[in-house]
Amino acid sequence: MYRRLSAILFPVMTLLFIGSIYWGYQEHQEKNSILIKAENQYQRAFHDLTYHVAQLHRQLGNTLAVNAASQGYHRKGLVNVWRLTSEAQNEINQLPLTLLPFNRTEEFLSRIANFSYKTSVRDLTKHPLTQDEYKTLKTLYANSKQISNDLLQVQDKVLANNLRWMDVETALASEKSNRDNTIIDGFQTVDKKVSEYPEINWGPSVASMYQKRTVKMLGGKQMSPEDIRKAAARFLKINDTNSIQVTENGAGTEYASYSATVQGPNTDNPIQLDFTQKGGQLIWYVNPRDVGEPKLNAEEARDKATEFLDSRGYPGMKSVNFDQYDNTAVFTMVGTQNGVLIFPEKMTVKVAMDNGDIVGLQAADYVFDHRKRKIPKPKLSPSAARAALNPDFKARSEQLALIENDLGEEALCYEFVGRINGGMYRLYINAETGVEEFIEQTPE
């Protein structure tokens, strides 16, 4: 009996053994194939990065080499600098550097990209490069040479010693590793040198992009928890302030704020509000209740949003955009001054379409940008601005609007809403120069 059983089981076990070996071999081959593909991807990104940084240095030199009156070539050169820098940033993002401090170099490339883009998009025939901008370009030329040379040294070592990027990924992922790796050391050296560069005058348009918003920028007095409790009660229109719990966030920091929490009447999830410590201004509000089937249309929901803002001390806000998600309507509202739309003063309002309750409000942009502005009179008439439109654009409405242009500057424009290409668009024509500042497609 045992002999018969073994005669049956032995071939079966042999087949299973052979099958397991074959399966393991296949798994090993597939794993190796994935590792080879990943290594090839890393190698391609690294060598492309080295090439594009070298080309960036060369393009900066070319831009500096031409005559100061060659605005056309300056524009072309700066556009190429922006393109090459963007490609270098993309290649850095493809490398396994998430655990490696390389942020100084990434920020440096980001500022080069923004500087070259914002300089090239302006009319250089009217506003040529300034002496400060020439000085900045010369500094970038020298710094990019240093970065390029350091990357080329790393590249030489990679090629000479057949170094693998998969080893870099393993070294970075291992907490026990001392990170003794030629590639890692090379990138750390690059980043350390970049961090030691003297401060560069990037100009106001680029510097403003990296200016952090903090509550220190706001006016008003420092608020106490009791002040916030009263402010939350006024906003929610309730009398019982004892039901409102206030906690302090980021005590002693530039982001200090208060969070107010109150239990809603029809939900287990509490209503939450955040206020700035300085001035006690509302940053955001959320009432996370379940929303039933819609009973309001978009126009009725917009009226509810406007009515709510009027009653909470935000008069004159106008809806400029609308989306609908999960039975709620989300409106982008902007401020107005003397009939002009003020786009920097924007907030987002979320309306429950079952009964019109406001279940969410994001007001950070409004908090930091709301102020009385001196709005200039438009130099162009509406008909002159309309003449700058595409002849196929069928304008339905027009209005003056203050927007932030590509240079980070506020610009007074004529806003034209109309149809072209089978869709609805908003076009913004500068009310002083007639230049098209911005265009966006909007929901029907």
DSSP string of 376-404? PPPSS-HHHHHTTS-TT-EEEEEEEEEEE
Query: What are the structure tokens assigned to 390, written together?
Result: 């595409």
Per-residue confidence (pLDDT) for residue 176, from 0 to 100: 46
Core vs surface per residue 329-350: b (16+ CB within 10 A) or e: bbbbbbbbeeebbbbbbbbbbb
Residues 245 and 265 in one domain: yes
pLDDT digits (tens, 9 = 90+) for 245-300: 999 887 665 567 889 998 765 556 789 999 988 888 999 999 988 888 999 999 99
Residues 60 and 103 in one domain: yes
Residues 144 and 170 in one domain: yes
Q: Is residue 412 part of a domain?
A: yes
Q: Is residue 242 part of a domain?
A: yes
Q: Is residue 376 part of a domain?
A: no
Q: Are 316 and 369 in contact (CB under 8 A)?
A: no
Q: Is residue 1 part of a domain?
A: no
Question: Taking 80 as the threshold, does the pLDDT of residue 329 lie above it?
Answer: yes
Would you call 308 exposed, middle or buried from its count of C-beta atoms within 10 A (0-12, 13-18, 19+)?
Answer: middle
Residues 317 and 245 in one domain: yes
Question: Taking 70 as the threshold, does the pLDDT of residue 117 lie above it?
Answer: yes
Q: Is residue 257 part of a domain?
A: yes
Q: Identity (one letter) of the amino acid at 239?
A: N
**358 beta partners:** 351
- Full residue range of the structural domain in which residue 330 is found: 217-369
Percent of the chain residues past pLDDT 90, beyond the cut: 30
Q: Which residue has the higher pLDDT, 306 or 67?
A: 306
Residues 148 and 116 in one domain: yes
Q: Are 62 and 76 in contact (CB under 8 A)?
A: no
Last residue of a domain, one of 210, 225, 246: 210
Quote the CA–CA distance of 440 and 444 in Å, as a whole number. Answer: 12
Residues 418 and 434 in one domain: yes
Quote the CA–CA distance of 426 and 27 in Å, as a whole number. Answer: 55
Quote the CA–CA distance of 32 and 75 in Å, as a whole number. Answer: 47
Q: Which long-range contacts (CB under 8 A, 24 or more apart) does 413-421 make?
A: 413/437, 413/438, 414/378, 414/380, 414/382, 414/385, 414/386, 415/341, 416/385, 416/386, 416/389, 417/442, 418/393, 418/394, 419/393, 419/394, 420/390, 420/392, 420/393, 420/394
- Candidates 246, 288, 284, 243; CA nearest to 269 is 288
Would you call 238 exposed, middle or buried from its count of C-beta atoms within 10 A (0-12, 13-18, 19+)?
Answer: middle
Last residue of a domain, one of 210, 226, 249: 210
Would you call 272 exposed, middle or buried from its count of C-beta atoms within 10 A (0-12, 13-18, 19+)?
Answer: middle
Q: Is residue 2 part of a domain?
A: no
Residues 306 and 346 in one domain: yes
Q: Which long-range contacts (CB under 8 A, 24 or more apart) does 306-310 make?
A: 306/333, 308/349, 308/358, 309/333, 309/347, 309/349
Q: Which contiguous run of DSSP H or E holds residue 155?
A: helix 131-161
Question: What pTM, to 2 d.p., does this model score?
Answer: 0.66
Residues 235 and 288 in one domain: yes
- Residue written as tokens 């409102």? 244
Residues 23 and 172 in one domain: yes
Per-residue confidence (pLDDT) for residue 7, from 0 to 100: 57
What's the domain count of the chain? 3
- Residue written as tokens 């992922």? 173
Last residue of a domain, one of 150, 178, 210: 210
Query: What are the structure tokens assigned to 37, written together?
Result: 């593909």
Residues 304 and 435 in one domain: no
Per-residue confidence (pLDDT) for residue 156, from 0 to 100: 85
Query: Distances in Å between the alpha carbon of 271 and those of 197, 263, 286?
Result: 48, 6, 6
Residues 263 and 175 in one domain: no
Name which of 63-77, 131-145, 398-412 the model is least confident about.
63-77
Question: Taking 90 as the threshold, does the pLDDT of residue 97 lie above it?
Answer: no
Q: Is residue 3 part of a domain?
A: no
Quote the CA–CA distance of 427 and 436 in Å, as a whole number. Answer: 7
Provide the pairing of β-strand 394-404 with 340-352: parallel
Residues 361 and 222 in one domain: yes
pLDDT digits (tens, 9 = 90+) for 129-187: 888 888 888 888 888 888 888 888 888 887 777 777 777 666 666 654 444 467 777 77
Residues 6+ apart with CB under 8 A from 93: none
- Candidates 368, 340, 44, 59; CA nearest to 218 is 368
Q: Is residue 421 part of a domain?
A: yes
The CATH number of residue 413's host domain is 3.10.450
